[in-house]
Amino acid sequence: MPEHSNHPPTLGDYAIEVRSKNAGPFWVTMETFMKDSAAYAIAADESFLNEAVVADLYRVDAAQVQIFRIPALNVVKISFPRPVTQASLRDRDIHAGQHHVPLAALRVPEPATAEPVERDN
């Protein structure tokens, strides 16, 4: 971790971008764009990021979580059913644009084998 950081490293610290969006009115998809192959290895590690972890973060059924690991792009993509249908009365995030936050905040176990992305603050 950078010397100025005083928080445990998170998945978002190793990613160029973590984003979420609708995958139709019934599904959410999230993508982690990792900065290099070492950072990708952290995100792609099935003992760190797996269906059970995602299910716990988002309170969904682990059997419905889909994880796609794409090493050629240093990307991990995650999809699962939306908790409520898009634009329904109980929908709090119509574009699913904020769903990525718990994933980005997921703590990375030490020791990490990659350097976090340096960000301008």
Task: Work out the end-to-end distance of the chain between its first and last CA atoms, rounded to an integer number of angstroms.
Answer: 15
pLDDT in the model for residue 1: 44
Range of the domain at 35: 11-104
pLDDT in the model for residue 98: 80
Closest to 105 in 3D by CA, of 29, 5, 19, 13: 13
The structure's pTM equals 0.82
Closest to 108 in 3D by CA, of 31, 34, 55: 34
pLDDT in the model for residue 87: 64
pLDDT in the model for residue 84: 74
Does residue 3 belong to any structural domain of this protein?
no
How many C-beta neighbours within 10 Å does residue 25 have?
12
Does residue 97 belong to any structural domain of this protein?
yes
Does residue 1 belong to any structural domain of this protein?
no
The one-digit pLDDT tens for each residue of the chain (121 residues) are 444 467 789 999 999 999 998 888 889 999 999 999 999 999 999 999 999 999 999 999 999 999 999 999 999 999 999 877 776 677 667 666 688 999 999 999 876 666 667 766 5
Does residue 72 belong to any structural domain of this protein?
yes
Does residue 6 belong to any structural domain of this protein?
no
Count up the domains in the chain and report the number.
1
* 116 within 8 A of 9, measured Cβ to Cβ: yes
Q: Are strands 66-70 and 15-22 parallel, antiparallel or unpaired?
A: unpaired
